[in-house]
Homo-oligomer: A and B are copies of this chain.
């Protein structure tokens, strides 16, 4: 796929929205950065109209902020709101963990334990990117096993908004050592088919994430 100019395939508004979402998640677009419609249209090879509707979508999703006649910017989520988001995620991911514990099959349990072993190895080898991957896999798998699509969509949307804080966090030295036992506790409870315990472990984990976020902003 060509990076912009001459694409025979038409670039739809949904495509543009997806590209911008990715760019924000990857940190290529930082909070408060202006999003000039003409520039984006040029960059992605789309018409300005499509860029416009894409920005509308992202505004509803909470990733972008628009001011009348002044254009769009990447929304900057204040610390206070990020903490709220983590609280909401805690409630929802606890729900998913509990449902996952009720529904998990033996094969899925084995897969989950494998993720846990990979995370232990990553901490032992001090491989941060492997640990981050394990983290994503774990949360993703619990959500998938839970079968809660509404919760999943909500969690995704919220996580995208708070992506800036996720970065700061995983860059922090020693963070993985602290969170590893929390993750393993979640895995254990889910594999033991203990919904209440799984929910509790997940809530404790996200409470710790919340604390870590507060500390990471004291710089």
Contacts and interface: CB of A to CB of B under 8 A. Distances in A.
A46 interface: no
Interface stretch (A101-109, A130-138, A150-158, A173-181): A150-158
A87 B151 CA distance: 9
A189 interface: no
Contacts of A111: none
A117 to B, nearest CB: 30
Contacts of A76: none
A90 B95 CA distance: 9
Given A56-B53, A150-B158, A88 B84 contact: no
Contacts of A56: 53, 56-57
Interface string A150-189: 1100100010000000000000000000000000000000
* Number of identical protomers: 2
B150 A88 contact: yes
A210 to B, nearest CB: 13
A148 B61 contact: no
A11 to B, nearest CB: 15
A53 B50 CA distance: 11
Contacts of A88: 92, 95, 148, 150-151, 154
A139 B142 CA distance: 30
Nearest to A90: B95
A158 to B, nearest CB: 7
A59 to B, nearest CB: 8
A35 interface: no
